[in-house]
Amino acid sequence: MEVKLANDKREREMYDSFAELYAIIKTTEKLEKAYVRDVITSSAYETECQKLIAHFKTLASTLKDTIPSIERFADTYKMDCPAAINRLVTSGVPATVEHRAAAASSMTSSAAAVAECTQNFITAMDSLKLNMVAVDQVHPLLSDLSTSLGKLTFLPPDFLGKVKLKEWIARLSKMGAADELTEQQSRQLHFDLESSYNSFMAALPNYGT
């Protein structure tokens, strides 16, 4: 006899999201332990940790009504992942960023700003993949990204990401809050974000030189 976990598509998507959240928490726990044991380099750890935090924030936002407490979710499914909960829920930034903050306060804002930009890029792209295409969903994400990019003084005013974001924000400002991007617009925005993200990452090695 076949046992159905879900009665409809919506319920099935909910369980899929639960599974994804479970996987993110477990993966973060393993990553934190690998970093503590010096099994992974700091740069590799930070890159992967930023991705996990960004994915977590996007997923947690979509599940906030279903899962108001991540800690309770972890307890319910008997997840012994204190390091992951601390990193994803309490801290919100990679340990490397925290360490730099402790080592030199002057570098903290720059390091945190870079991490913030990375997370905002990934969050915006993830949201489009999740079909969050209403103007009142997209506009705040692009505004946050634009603000975080503005904090990085090493990026020139004509940086691709800044230019593209200004164009999209201006376009969205002329639309109604309930209006939605067409499939073509959504694909183009995702492409522009991805291109800008790649340019952003390419600019990072020049920072501080």
Q: Which residues contact 207 (CB under 8 A, 6 or more apart)?
A: 110, 114, 154
Percent pLDDT > 70 in the chain is 90
Question: Is pLDDT of 6 > 60?
Answer: no
The full set of domains in the chain, from first to last, is: 9-93 (1.20.1440.200), 106-201 (1.20.120.1130)
Torsion over CA of 142, 145, 151 and 155, rounded to 10 degrees? -90
Alpha carbon separation from 95 to 25, 70, 190 (Å, rounded): 16, 20, 29
pLDDT of residue 97: 86
Q: What is the pLDDT of residues 109-121, one digit of tens each?
A: 677 788 899 999 9
Instruction: Scan for tokens 């996990």, then name that residue.
Output: 52
Burial of 153 (0-12, 13-18, 19+ CB in 10 A): exposed
The reported pLDDT for the residue numbered 127 is: 92
Helices (H), 77-182: 82-85, 95-103, 105-129, 135-150, 160-173
Q: pLDDT for 37-55, tens place per residue?
A: 999 999 999 999 999 999 9
Residue 28 has pLDDT above 50, yes or no: yes
- Under 8 Å between Cβ of 63 and 21: yes
Q: Measured between alpha carbons, how far is 17 from 10 in angstroms, rounded to an integer?
A: 11
Close Cβ partners of 83 (under 8 Å, ≥ 6 residues apart): 28, 29, 32, 33, 36
